[in-house]
Amino acid sequence: MYNEIDLDIIDINSEPPTEEPFRQYYFMAKCRRWVKDFEQKNGRLPKSFVLNMGCQMNARDSEKLSGILRRIGYIPAEEEETADFCIYNTCTVRDNADQRVYGRLGHLNSLKKKKPSMKIALCGCMMQEPGTVERIRRSYRFVDLVFGTHNLYKFAELLADALEQDRMIVDIWEGTDAIVEELPVERKIPFKSGINIMFGCNNFCSYCIVPYVRGRERSRNPEDILQEISALAADGVVEIMLLGQNVNSYGKNPKGRMNFAGLLREAEKIEGIRRIRFMTSHPKDLSDELIRVMAESDKICRHLHLPLQSGSTRILGKMNRHYTKEQYLSLVERIRGAMPDIALTTDIIVGFPGETPEDVDETIDVIRRVEFDNAFTFLYSKRTGTPAAAMENQVEESVMKEGFDRVLKVVQDTARKRVALLAGRTMEALVEERNGQDASLLTGRLSNNTLVHFPGDPSLIGQIVPVSLKEYKGFYYLGERSL
């Protein structure tokens, strides 16, 4: 409905609507007038560069930013150097994410000196972090627009102001109850799409900045989600990923009539959708009902990302994770009992305050017993404003790295063993792209998230085809299409 709105017939001389998303379409029309003036003056359309620097939810937000810019009339730029408008959608989960932004801003400053008309914007989680905006105002005064996570839907309105004014515009909200999703989206992959089912987080893990920058949990209405999935299926999407900081608590805030397991049941019924994925699950909220729904489904992928963070019950308590080592292992046993072929992946933090070599041993014990198909292993990163940042017994970097190396070796050894079990099988793969290293090969993704490279024609991209897994190469396979 909303994507069919004709921007050229909106009266931008009238007062803007108060109701969303109609208000944002009014400002898209206003920006479109600016684009037409730019084209008349320069003999070309303006170019925009959108850089996603964060998680899957950030990636979905970046698709919204790209969709709005394209609807306004911007065309994509391949790099910052050729852009007339550049926006970074930032992450702040770890300190190196912040430093990456500041490093790139130095490059943008030199570009803007050469092209003063260039507009630069920053948004996303890092902008919600205390002290960030003050630093940008002080040290990066060439930035034109700064906004956060809660008002991303106001991008068109903020852009309209930035195009008309020659000053830094800052619009950071502490929180919101609003959910505005009916805006243009430009998918990077035509046959796959993420779908936000909820926003924010109520867990307050002691090391994590996310609840402070994303706000409290807010679940979308199931009817709106299912309508969006149906529209995506009609547009050729065959695989969806349901997104939330903790999808297992979907429907609790505000209290709804449908939980996450129920939402999956309804999503399965939508014709055209062949695969359903979701991210991320918190172990404390993963129900036996959800396990049953996954086990009985032909569409829900045989892959579950289940963050462990630590195998030490003592450290898990300090992390405020609300489960013990034994409870995590019991949960894995129930999952594997219902779905022996499921791929389990996880997140692990090494070097949390107070962690000892014995605690690292506990984590290694869990890795060996679970045999994860993959694990994203991180050194603890102190985030100002979180309880963990003020804890005593911060671990020295050298000790942290020693524990990290021990954990990583076991992760790699057990993951290779687990993925190697697929050798010789024929499995369905969603063909995602032409291989970047060998143009004669296509790259497909199995239901369990393992990649396979095999000879094939690019016309197969976007299709699900059977592939024989011939040669295991360590975390991926070489195969042949099975006819």
Confidence class for position 253, pLDDT limits 50, 70, 90: confident
Q: What would the mean pLDDT of 303-317 be, rounded to a whole number?
A: 98
pLDDT value of residue 54? 87
Q: What would the mean pLDDT of 152-176 be, rounded to a whole number?
A: 95
pLDDT value of residue 313? 98
From residue 193, give the alpha-carbon distance in Å to each of 244, 339, 345, 413: 14, 25, 21, 32
What b/e readout covers 198-212, taking b as 16+ CB neighbours within 10 angstroms? bbbbebebbbbbbbb
Q: What would the mean pLDDT of 402-426 be, rounded to a whole number?
A: 95
DSSP 3-state assignment of 131? coil
Confidence class for position 104, pLDDT limits 50, 70, 90: very high
Residue 4, pLDDT > 90, answer no
Tokens standing for residue 463: 């299709």
Q: What would the mean pLDDT of 407-418 be, rounded to a whole number?
A: 95
Q: Residue 97 and residue 286: Cα distance in Å, rounded?
A: 29
Residue 280, pLDDT > 70, answer yes
pLDDT value of residue 5? 86
pLDDT value of residue 452? 98
Confidence class for position 255, pLDDT limits 50, 70, 90: confident
> Do 464 and 274 form a contact (C-beta atoms < 8 A)?
yes
Residue 200, pLDDT > 80, answer yes
pLDDT value of residue 3? 64
42-51, 137-146, 211-220, 321-330: segment of lowest average pLDDT: 211-220
What residues form DSSP beta bridges with 446? 429
Q: Residue 453 and residue 442: Cα distance in Å, rounded?
A: 6
Average per-residue pLDDT for the chain? 95
Residue 153 DSSP one-character state: G
The Cβ-side half-sphere exposure at 127, using a 13 Å CA radius, reads: 28
Nearest C-alpha neighbor of 376 from the set 341, 344, 353:
344
pLDDT value of residue 256? 73
pLDDT value of residue 2? 54
For residue 453, what is the enclosing H or E element? strand 451-455
pLDDT value of residue 274? 98
The Cβ-side half-sphere exposure at 165, using a 13 Å CA radius, reads: 13
475: left (phi over 0), alpha (psi -120 to 50) or beta: left
Q: What would the mean pLDDT of 124-138 be, rounded to a whole number?
A: 94
Q: Which residue has 């898209």 as its token pair? A: 28
The Cβ-side half-sphere exposure at 448, using a 13 Å CA radius, reads: 22
pLDDT, tens digit (0-9, with 9 covering 90-100), for 331-377 = 999 999 999 999 999 999 999 999 999 999 999 999 999 999 999 99
pLDDT value of residue 177? 87
For residues 379, 383, 388, 392, the Cα torsion angle rounded to the nearest 10 degrees is: 80
Q: What would the mean pLDDT of 182-187 be, rounded to a whole number?
A: 92
How many Cβ atoms sit within 10 Å of the Cβ of residue 9? Answer: 7
Q: Residue 194 and residue 60: Cα distance in Å, rounded?
A: 6
> Do 451 and 444 form a contact (C-beta atoms < 8 A)?
yes
pLDDT value of residue 222? 96
